[in-house]
Chain A
């Protein structure tokens, strides 16, 4: 019943429905890219370089004569891969460290001091440094973006665990002689699920954004791979000649981030009615 009502609130507003539709579109783009694309995204055709939109090239071509529309379609794959990869790493390590800090008081201050230190380092610069040492690759970019996100998850999980430690059901479990691991997993961690879903959407959006920034700056995905950041980085030199090279991928990128954030906001309001309409 409760779940139904929540889902009902979740889907009741048309901006959220539009946002979900956009997310579905991006997922469809990524999954069916080879069928949706009209050209090979890496095929160089110098004869048609820097053309505006036409029947053959729906959004025009870039400085190497590659089809912009097909590149944008394939770019969704990189963004979704980076988003999911970063999300997985940040949640796994964040929950692990957060659980250790929130349950075992002796580890708390050590773990949290390390997290404070990581949070003081500008995320983009740390990622840039890691990518420039180990060379650009998809996996390096994912790890580099995930590391600064880990402290945010750790803090969230630790805070929730600390607040439920004194709850009667936890104390009851302790009295019954339940093992610490079972108390943690069965009684305490379920409280973190809803906030993690909300935080997870924001992490996903942030990861898509940072990947684009890193690729734009030349410290991201290898330049030949069509990622939205790389497409924009390629197009910026010719921006004054063909603004579409930057603006089309830019609009798709912005809409994707916007809709993920909107879904995150709606999820937060639905899962925590106290906050609804406030933040």
Chain B
């Protein structure tokens, strides 16, 4: 297993390089002057030039790229223009809530969508299947902030069961922590449950047509054993794939959810950075999230081989 992991790790290097080039060039080639943005509206030409020099934007593009890459590799994401603190420290400070939301969302999504997807596949074409299919189109068409406001409207303002917004760390008590995350996780997971259920259903339907399923039936296994042991077992690889594909969508959703529920995580840091035009933070967070996406996909790639020994290294 170790050689496989090392080989896959090596294969991520070109992708990481492309990501770095794309982020750098998109941001540098986009018309607009970061120095002028940082300087603000009332700045003089001299002030803008001074900032440009300070930010290193007056050096040749290749030099800027190499400097930036080597800083990032050493874990130096620069200094925030808003707070004057190292961006790295701000990111570490804000990681907790974001990790909690994403983790709970993924767990909750799998808990709901796997059984519902299997049920729909098993009852293919029946009323329950049509209901699930229609529900899933609805689920991924409603934007996450609309779902969020509908849930706040019903459960916080209407019934008064849950807080409208805010965040409590786990150290403030388990229930207090979870209570504040129920609506954010429910909003964020709606789209993923919709996507994942649809995908589980399709994967199971695909495997149900295979010979080994007929064999399993023939040897007298009951319906549940066939569905769970054989069909779900073989659908595991496509299900893992969709988790990998949706990581970047999940990250976009976290930004929106944290903004609606006023949760002090990395997503809200992005929004604060937009409003303050803090370019350094935005750039650092794109790099961070892209790296997270690449590594989640790396882990999934290794998991394939655990789940399905037929995939050779």
Question: Taking beta carbons and an 8 Å cutoff, which residues of A are in contact with B?
Answer: 15, 113-114, 116-126, 128-130, 132-135, 140, 147, 205, 209, 212-213, 216-219, 232, 236, 239-240, 243, 246-247, 250-251, 253-254, 257-258, 261-262, 265, 277-279
Contact = CB atoms under 8 A, between A and B. Distances in A.
B72 to A, nearest CB: 14
Given A133-B34, A134-B32, A254 B142 contact: yes
Contacts of B289: 121-122, 125
B143 A250 contact: yes
A261 B145 CA distance: 18
B132 interface: no
Interface stretch (B21-29, B59-67, B217-225, B229-237): B21-29
Nearest to B294: A120
Given A124-B252, A129-B283, A134-B31, A113 B18 contact: yes
B25 to A, nearest CB: 11
7 contacts: A114-B18, A125-B251, A129-B283, A212-B143, A217-B255, A247-B146, A262-B137
Given A118-B22, A129-B27, A133-B32, A261 B153 contact: no
Contact of B290 (A121, A140, A212, A261): A121
B26 A122 contact: no
B143 A125 contact: no
B151 to A, nearest CB: 12
Contacts of A132: 37, 273-274, 277, 279, 282
Contacts of B4: none
Give 6 closest A-B pairs by Cβ, nearest first: A117-B18, A134-B32, A124-B252, A258-B141, A250-B146, A133-B32
A227 to B, nearest CB: 13
Interface string B140-159: 11111110011011000100
In this complex, the member of B17, B138, B252 whose beta carbon has the largest number of chain A beta carbons within 10 angstroms is B252
Nearest to B276: A132
Contacts of B141: 205, 254, 257-258, 261
Contacts of A140: 30
Contact of B152 (A113, A239, A257, A262): A239
B33 to A, nearest CB: 8
B143 A116 contact: no
In this complex, the member of B157, B270, B297 whose beta carbon has the largest number of chain A beta carbons within 10 angstroms is B270
A233 B198 CA distance: 31
Contacts of B137: 258, 261-262, 265
Interface residues on B, range: 35 or more
B100 interface: no
A122 B252 contact: yes
A133 B252 contact: no
Nearest to A216: B145
B90 interface: no
A239 B156 CA distance: 12
Contacts of A113: 14-15, 18
A219 B37 CA distance: 14
Contacts of B80: none
A277 B19 contact: no
Given A117-B19, A217-B274, 12 more contacts: A113-B18, A117-B18, A117-B21, A120-B294, A124-B255, A125-B282, A128-B282, A132-B37, A213-B256, A217-B255, A243-B153, A246-B146
Nearest to B149: A246
B26 A125 contact: no
A123 B248 contact: yes
Contacts of B27: 129-130, 133
Contacts of A213: 143-145, 252, 256
A129 B282 contact: yes
B10 interface: no
A147 B26 contact: yes
A119 B17 CA distance: 13
Contacts of B150: 247, 250
Contacts of B164: 240
A144 to B, nearest CB: 8
A83 to B, nearest CB: 14
A257 B143 contact: yes
B144 to A, nearest CB: 8
Given A113-B18, A114-B18, A254-B143, A129 B26 contact: yes
A243 B153 CA distance: 7
B202 interface: yes
Contact of A134 (B15, B30, B248): B30
A32 to B, nearest CB: 25
B274 A123 contact: no
B112 interface: no
Contacts of B302: none
A278 B202 contact: yes
Nearest to A125: B286
Contacts of A218: 271, 274-275
B299 to A, nearest CB: 14
A209 B23 contact: no
